[in-house]
Structure 1
Amino acid sequence: MDQHSADNCKCHKQTQPAQQTLSDMDFDRGIWNAAIYNEVERVREFIKKGQAMARDDCDYTALHYAARNGNEQICKMLLDEGKVDVNAVTKGGATALHRAAMMGHLNIVKLLATQPKVNLLLQDECGQSVLHRAALRGQLEVCRYLLQQQPELKLLKDNKDKIAFEYIMENANDDFKLLLKP
């Protein structure tokens, strides 16, 4: 698995504070860290400074981090006040919607999926769609919602020529299997 797949990003090393790189220190002081830790007022200040679409070393935006962590208020603020690009992709091709879907944050998935310019069919560098990511992590309700919004996702193939159905776990319940079966 490459360094940007799913929740496997290795862009920021886990180091002791005394050993932080300049890049890590910028990250900790930036909008991304505030988005991760749901620091609403800090994020609002970054938006006012025009940093809503700032990108870290791996091209993640604050929306990517807020979506992955289920921080709905920050996601709404970034979309409304920050006018961020809901389709912004990381170096690995992931959108904020990919990140919310894999984590099962249905409220965030609904918020992002209903944005006027969202593209539900975007695929990451592995060819995985938001449905692939949700199926891989066993997120039944997210899969159900995504298919209601964009039925074409069911037959979308990734770079391994696999559809989302092929990523559900063997022990997935029958509802899950029926939902994703082509």
Structure 2
Amino acid sequence: MDQHDADHCKCHKQAAPAQQTLTDMEFDRGIWNAAIYNEPERVRNFIGRGKSMDRDDFDYTALHYAARNGNVEICKMLIEDGKADVDAITKAGATALHRAAMMGHLNVVKLLVAAKANLQLQDEYGQTALHRAAIRGHLDVCKFLLEQDPKLKEIKDKKEKIPYEYIMENANDDFKILLKP
């Protein structure tokens, strides 16, 4: 599973300052931390220094972190001013769109799509952003993604599952109808 999915994110440790590693301190002082905590001025400063596409140890960019946290302003700043690559992939194959869809951040998903994010990119498990939104039960994100590319519902992951097969058993009928191939 993606080391930075919502349930397993270890991107910033909660350690006492004296116990931080050099990697932890670099992360805390870097653009990634500013993107997570929605600090526009710090992000703007990093962009001005050409740091918008800096990557952490897992190849996540600030856009990945801002998208996961729903920080629309930071995402917009990174895309427009920082010329961030909306399709940058991590070591696990995740894009900012995967992260925003997984967390149900529709406004960020719309922003990334408007910036020409590739909707069909698959992570190391073969999952698209639609798979991730379906797994988490984000109907509004699923609807939007399918309006953009109806063929997304047919893409199988490495387990040979389409997004429909991941919706929760208690999903409402609208959700089942939307994702049914």
TM exceeding 0.5: yes
CA distance in 2, matches of 1:91, 1:166: 26
CA distance in 2, matches of 1:2, 1:134: 14
After TM superposition, the structure 1 = structure 2 runs for residues 53-132 of structure 1, keeping only pairs within 5 Å, are: 53-116=53-116, 118-132=117-131
Counterpart amino acid of residue 50 in structure 1: G
Structure 2: give runs of 5+ residues left out of the alignment. none
* Aligned 8 A contact 1:97 1:130 in 2: yes
CA distance in 1, matches of 2:125, 2:13: 23
Assess, with a 3 A threshold, how the Cα gap between structure 1 residues 154 and 140 changes in structure 2: closer, same or farther. same
CA distance in 1, matches of 2:48, 2:70: 22
Match of 1:180 in 2: 179
* Aligned 8 A contact 1:5 1:92 in 2: no
TM-score of the superposition, structure 2-length normalised? Answer: 0.96
- What displacement does 1:10 show? 3.6
Match of 2:36 in 1: 36
Structure 1 residues 140-165: Cα deviation after superposition (integer angstroms, max 9, x where no partner): 00000000001111000000000000
- What displacement does 1:3 show? 3.0
- What displacement does 1:115 show? 1.2
After TM superposition, the structure 1 = structure 2 runs for residues 151-170 of structure 1, keeping only pairs within 5 Å, are: 151-170=150-169
Q: What is the root-mean-square deviation in Å for CA atoms of aligned residues? A: 1.3
CA distance in 2, matches of 1:168, 1:15: 36
Report the secondary structure of 1:136's partner residue.
helix
Report the secondary structure of 2:144's partner residue.
helix
- What displacement does 1:122 show? 0.2
